[in-house]
Every structure is written in C-alpha cells, then in structure tokens.
Amino acid sequence: MKHAALFLVGLIIGAVGAVIVANALRARDAYARGAMDVMQHHYGSLRENLRAKRCDAHKTALALSQLRALGNEIEPAVYPDSTPESSFREFSSRLRDALDAGIAAAPADCAALAPVVEKVGKVCEECHQQYR
C-alpha cells in the first residue's frame, strides 16, 4: 500500500511538472503565433473578398496596410533574442516587397487585387513549407 501511495504522489507531481513546462514553452511562442494568426486573418479576408467579388478599395488598402505593418513584426516575433537566419530574412523581405507592391498598385477592383493576393500567398506558403 505504501508503494502505491508513493507511486501516486510521484505521478501527480510529474503531471503537475509537465503542465508547468508545457505552459512555459507555449508562452514562449505566443507572440509569434499571435502575429501569424492576425496576418492569417487579414490575408483570409482579402481572399474571401476576392472570391466573393467584393473588392472594396478602402477595405483592400486597409488590409494590405495592416499586413505590411505585421510584416515588420515577423522577424522580432519569431527570433526575439537573435538574428534571423538568412533564408528567413529573405522570405520576410519578399513578403514585405509583395505587400509594398500591392499597396503601391492600390488595387481598386478584383482583377487588380488577384495577382497581389496570389503573390503574398505564394511567399507565405514557401516560408511555411520550410519553417513549419
């Protein structure tokens, strides 16, 4: 009986320790996941508006500007304490360039927005293939 009680206490302490470690590891990446989630939301709204043929110039410009601002946050979010590796810097630079081109083009209709959304999606997909 004594061994079973000690085993149960050890099991409980181990489970509590595992939860603490898991929460600490999850909190470490919260900013990067949050930045990516917000980017995914804005990119998704652009795609949905494009599919539904509701390409409002003001909403499009706003979403592209927000994506561009978040593009500046990718490197510090993913690499908060160090310099990102060169391939990651290349992907984030390509994303910012695609968004800058989209903002400069100021797509007012769906035909003009489609290549911008496609290029941004392609850059995101290539980066996620390498870093996920």
Buried b (16+ CB within 10 A) or exposed e, 106-129: ebeebeebeebbebbeebbeebee
Higher pLDDT among residues 19 and 109, named by residue: 19
- Least confident window among 13-17, 45-49, 54-58: 54-58
Helix (H) or strand (E) holding 16: helix 2-28
pLDDT of residue 125: 94
Fold of 35-131: Four Helix Bundle (Hemerythrin (Met), subunit A) (1.20.120)
Q: Are the CB atoms for 43 and 120 separated by under 8 Å?
A: yes
Tell me the pTM.
0.76
pLDDT of residue 106: 77
| Residue with token string 């695609």 | 98
Half-sphere exposure for 3 (CA within 13 Å, toward CB)? 0
Each domain of the chain, given as residue ranges in start order, spans 35-131
Residues 60-73: tens digit of each pLDDT:
888 999 999 999 98
